[in-house]
Amino acid sequence: MILKGIFKVPAHKRFAFKPRYYDPIKEEITERTKRIETELQEEDPTKPHSSTIRGAFKRKTGSKKTFGKDYSAAVGQLSATAMLVTLCLGYWYFGNKIIYAIGAIVGIYILFRLRKK
């Protein structure tokens, strides 16, 4: 009896199964819409379905709203890529001198950026 209190016995692990919600009405609706879409495509495959065209226009308008953010990121990536290519080609042609030159240019740029603030 004394040994029972000294050692801790692990508790039983329970099986926790959370069933997914099943909606037969929603499944029936999705099956019917898929069937109707395939029937429409079989009738005239050259005619595009109107919902796909409508969705394509919605995606394009969404990308125009965030154009400013994407543009600044693209400019940053392009400038970083151009800097790396210039550094590699300059090192290949001129050696260590180009690294010092680019370091001086970046230092002057940072100096002027800090001076404006």
3-state secondary structure 17-41: CCCCCCCHHHHHHHHHHHHHHHHHH
Per-residue pLDDT of 30-83, as tens digits, reads: 999 999 998 888 776 565 555 556 556 655 544 444 455 567 778 888 888 998
Among residues 61, 63, 39, the alpha carbon closest in space to that of 49 is found at 39
The position carrying tokens 């290519």 is 85
pTM of the model: 0.33
Tokens of 18: 């959370």
Whether 87 contacts 102, CB under 8 Å:
yes
